[in-house]
Structure 1
Amino acid sequence: MGAGPRHGQEISLLRDEVHYLQDTIARRWPQTKVLILGDVILDKYVYGHVERISPEAPVPVVRADRSSEQPGGAANVAMNVVAMGARATLVGFTGRDADRELLERQLAAAGVDSALVAVDGTPTTAKLRVLAGQHQVVRLDHESTAERPAPAYEELLQRFEAALASAQVVILSDYAKGVLTKTVCQRAIALARKAGVPVLVDPKTRDFSRYAGATTICPNRGELALATGVHGDVEEELNHGQRYVEQLGLSHLTVTMSEKGICLLWPDRRHHAPAVARQVFDVSGAGDTVIATLALCAASGVPPEQAASLANLAAGIVVAKVGTVPASAGELLSELRARNKDGSDLKAMSLPELAEKVAAWQAAGDKVVFTNGCFDLVHVGHVTLLEQCREFGTRLVVGINSDASVSRLKGPTRPIIGEQQRARLLSALAATDAVVIFDEPTPIDVIKAIRPDVLVKGGDYTEATVVGAPEVRSWGGRVELVPLVEGFSTSDIVRRIGAQAKA
């Protein structure tokens, strides 16, 4: 560990790509379930300091100050998945010991569904690292890499198949600890392909044939060099990698190249996604973050090229932290917003981001105002309403109905303007501080999540008909009604356009 150099270069994404990825993370990932099959590890840490050398042997004596434990290996992949807002089911081997119990408690607390098979006579794989300051003094491994009894593998695959029924993507996380034998890999891949579920593999063996039929294998350069037998010649390594795609029946090969980013390989072409420029503190867990991101993208239909760029952003987040700490959906969304140079884009937020932002504003003494609407064909009446709303506080949050919600409310010909464009237009107004899109018919979930100080609606409402009014009053807020600007409505504008077109 320790501060390192800045790695990578600036990732370039078009505005539409940023909006597409933001929408995918905020709205599709929470509906996604990832099934992880692989080697489960418990990472243990003892932190201390060295004051002297042992009189018994020429080794440092570490005085322990604190200790910690966290899920590692395939379990860390699952932790990354849930941190990104999705659901995860983890299948793997453990022993019948205290480490299993600790691991299961931590996974459950994080929201990971575990379907772990306890095997008698083998320990739960655990790695104990002793650190003095920022330097690792020693690592002690408790593990067995031997194959387990045949009934254990049968139970493993039965649990995998049961979880597969509700999964949208599979990750095979291989740490060479005895779970992903060639037979297990081939049976798992065959089951997933039959179900139409993509499979991503994080390999550990030099024999990639055991992963044949997967959607993609994601080796780093060292793992690719080991598999191909080519060392030091990047071009030749990648040439060999391209041949693997056809030989193994893959969709493509995904090669992670540390500070050089990610290279996607097809038989006849390549795509290079550069890494994000970042001060590197610790690369622990970056590979688990990358494959979790790629898997969620695969489940959501994100093209591999954009998935690779997003995975690089996620990796950039975790290498800037000390220790194995997953990247969150909120951090990814913030990184994506930073890709846009126009500050107005920073106003469009997911609900979790917005709740966090509003809490920070209120803690700083700001009075937060909320209003909502479809805002289809933004006109002077809308602008006047928002300017009046802003006068009731110091921050204005605007909720807008999604395209699907507008259609349900106003019919199949609406909206005229898509949700992302409507959000963009409202974000450009000086009166607004934040914009959030909601799918439901009413904004009640948004109101409960952000707890505004003032709730504002137009004069065509009464306080008794304003959604969220009782809730806002319950926490000491108030409801305000403002008069509408006569002669301006989206329906009137649409009718006038239609009449002029007929004339």
Structure 2
Amino acid sequence: MTPLVVVGDALLDVDVEGTAERLCPEAPVPVVDVERRWQRPGGAGLAATLLATRTAPEVVLVTALGDDDAGRRLAELLAHDVQVVRLPMDGETVCKTRLRAAGQSLARVDTGGGRAARAPLPGRAVRALRSAGAILVSDYGRGVAAHPGLRDLLTELAPRVPVVWDPHPRGPAPVPGVRLATPNDSEALAFAGDCSDAADAAHTLRSTWSCTATAVTVGPRGALLAGPGDGPPVTVPVSAPARAAGHGRPDTCGAGDRFASAATAALAGGSELTAAVSSAVDAASRFVAAGGAAALSVDGTPAGEPESAFGLADRVRRQGGRLVATGGCFDLLHPGHVSLLRQARSLGDALVVCLNSDESVRGLKGPARPVVPAEDRARLLLELESVDAVVVFDEPSPEQVLARLRPDVWVKGGDYAEADLPEAGVVRRHGGEVVLVPTVAGYSTTHLLTHHR
């Protein structure tokens, strides 16, 4: 099977989520108590990820990435689903951070001004494009779509390979011969100049850009398709089943990327233009209804970051809930751990795990431990349904972290006696109780290591 190739500017998208229940005393703006940070590929990276996870088994992304923290994190996220062909970048990778509370965006902060360097196109990029079954140009105005060598190659390929071009106001016009251009209505009106409405703009741009068709997206109304010939654009509406899927307050972030990627996949599969645009309209509508780009995010909260666990504790208390905490090394996660965590979570509304750091484990268990580093232990714990947050501590005992968390319940396995828990006094001093739960016989990390060497 020939790959689908996405060409364009990949970004790192971050959502910082929290609660906003008070105003800043210095200015009438909300104060957001941060609870979680979510990360995902953005821009052309999102379009490529959508193609790979929704449609095509083999997707190649040709993009510029900086050698910086955002670029490395973005490359790591992309590697799960797509093959990345890197172009050199001048400057730092763009990171777009949305500050959100109660499902509502309050502000966006953009950092990094990197642009694709005008270096020769790498041979790997040329080979990927020449082997493509279809090409999506996902332009975010950061220089990839303006690369002279890339534009020359796309101009050569457009007559024989379906090329979909998702333009950007700060980017160049599509190359001649593009099969489908996909601006939204506000972009189309800006590109077309003096046009009176989106339909007029769709017709004008098809001619101006010398493309086979232009599909101007018009939100929940679908798209306006100006195809070959001189006829007026036709409306391609959202189908009844896709419309029925919508509910609540939609997050439209990424809807244009979903539309363009779905149209690309349809054209690669041999669909004619109207059918491709119709499937893209429905795909974008269902995508928004399912939560938009945010649904593709992964937890980017650093493992053990105290604010995450303490923010959760504050929220549970404000809502009148019952906070449970437990602690330990959790090295080589086993059924005994899972049983303990499940029992602990059943005792309240949220569970925080206080995790011994690598240094703390070495002090308790010896220089050969831990087997699994703290970052990975935290990641594994957070994958469990019973665990809501993890906080890492360096001391032999979690007394200091418990003084800040102030849990209603502190849970330990029944192999401990309450008198053996130095942290019990801290828990009770803040009004909490200590609960010892039964353990699963025969399971401990030390036992597993001793009997499997």
1:415-455 deviation digits (Å, cap 9, x = unpaired): xxxxxxxxxxxxxxxxxxxxxxxxxxxxxxxxxxxxxxxxx
> In 1, distance between residues paired with 2:132 and 2:211?
20
The residue aligned with 2:93 is 124
Aligned partners of 1:318 and 1:326 also within 8 Å: no
Amino acid at match of 1:218: T
1:275-323 deviation digits (Å, cap 9, x = unpaired): 1324252211111111111101111111111112211221121111224
Aligned partners of 2:180 and 2:213 also within 8 Å: yes
> Which of 214, 224, 239 is 1:253 aligned to?
214
The residue aligned with 1:27 is none
* Worse-matched range after superposition: 293-302 or 136-145: 136-145
Amino acid at match of 1:213: G
Aligned partners of 2:18 and 2:102 also within 8 Å: yes
> In 2, distance between residues paired with 1:166 and 1:215?
17
> Which of 164, 168, 172 is 2:129 aligned to?
164
Aligned partners of 2:20 and 2:33 also within 8 Å: yes
> In 1, distance between residues paired with 2:225 and 2:31?
47
Amino acid at match of 1:313: D
Q: CA 1:48/1:207 → structure 2, altered by over 3 Å: closer, same or farther?
A: closer
SS of 1:67's equivalent in the other structure is: strand
> Which of 31, 38, 41 is 1:61 aligned to?
31
The residue aligned with 1:89 is 60
> Which of 280, 286, 301 is 1:317 aligned to?
286
Q: Runs of 4 or more off by more than 6 Å in structure 1?
A: none
> In 2, distance between residues paired with 1:185 and 1:307?
25
Q: CA 1:238/1:158 → structure 2, altered by over 3 Å: closer, same or farther?
A: farther
1:256-405 mapped onto 2 (5 Å cutoff): 256-266=217-227, 267-269=229-231, 270-276=233-239, 277-278=243-244, 279-280=246-247, 281-324=250-293
> Which of 212, 216, 221 is 2:180 aligned to?
216
Q: TM-score, normalised by structure 2?
A: 0.58
The residue aligned with 2:108 is 139
* Worse-matched range after superposition: 130-139 or 283-292: 130-139
> In 1, distance between residues paired with 2:79 and 2:170?
34
Cα shift at 1:134: 1.9
SS of 1:150's equivalent in the other structure is: coil
C-alpha RMSD over aligned residues:
2.5
Aligned partners of 1:202 and 1:218 also within 8 Å: yes
Amino acid at match of 1:43: D
Q: CA 1:326/1:187 → structure 2, altered by over 3 Å: closer, same or farther?
A: farther
> Which of 75, 82, 94 is 1:104 aligned to?
75
> In 2, distance between residues paired with 1:308 and 1:288?
13
> In 1, distance between residues paired with 2:117 and 2:291?
38
Aligned partners of 2:55 and 2:265 also within 8 Å: no
Amino acid at match of 1:95: G
Aligned partners of 1:185 and 1:210 also within 8 Å: no
Q: Which runs of 5+ in 2 are unaligned?
A: 297-453
Cα shift at 1:128: 1.0
Q: CA 1:288/1:222 → structure 2, altered by over 3 Å: closer, same or farther?
A: same
> In 2, distance between residues paired with 1:242 and 1:207?
20
Amino acid at match of 1:36: V
SS of 1:197's equivalent in the other structure is: coil
Cα shift at 1:149: 4.0
Amino acid at match of 2:118: A
> In 1, distance between residues paired with 2:41 and 2:8?
13
Cα shift at 1:264: 1.7
Higher relative contact order (CA 8 A, sep 6+): 1
Q: TM-score, normalised by structure 1?
A: 0.53
SS of 1:324's equivalent in the other structure is: helix
Cα shift at 1:176: 1.2
The residue aligned with 1:178 is 143
Aligned partners of 2:174 and 2:209 also within 8 Å: no
Q: CA 1:199/1:95 → structure 2, altered by over 3 Å: closer, same or farther?
A: same
> In 2, distance between residues paired with 1:200 and 1:248?
13
> In 1, distance between residues paired with 2:94 and 2:24?
29
Figure out how many residues of one structure are paired with residues of the other and give that number.
Answer: 287
Amino acid at match of 2:109: L
> In 1, distance between residues paired with 2:7 and 2:279?
23
1:342-390 deviation digits (Å, cap 9, x = unpaired): xxxxxxxxxxxxxxxxxxxxxxxxxxxxxxxxxxxxxxxxxxxxxxxxx
SS of 2:18's equivalent in the other structure is: strand
SS of 1:186's equivalent in the other structure is: helix
Cα shift at 1:73: 0.5
Q: Does 1:150 align with 2:118?
A: yes
> In 1, distance between residues paired with 2:263 and 2:95?
26
Amino acid at match of 2:277: A
Aligned partners of 2:118 and 2:147 also within 8 Å: no
> In 1, distance between residues paired with 2:222 and 2:292?
21
1:451-502 deviation digits (Å, cap 9, x = unpaired): xxxxxxxxxxxxxxxxxxxxxxxxxxxxxxxxxxxxxxxxxxxxxxxxxxxx
SS of 2:226's equivalent in the other structure is: strand
Cα shift at 1:41: 0.8
Aligned partners of 1:78 and 1:112 also within 8 Å: yes
The residue aligned with 2:389 is none
> In 1, distance between residues paired with 2:261 and 2:278?
13
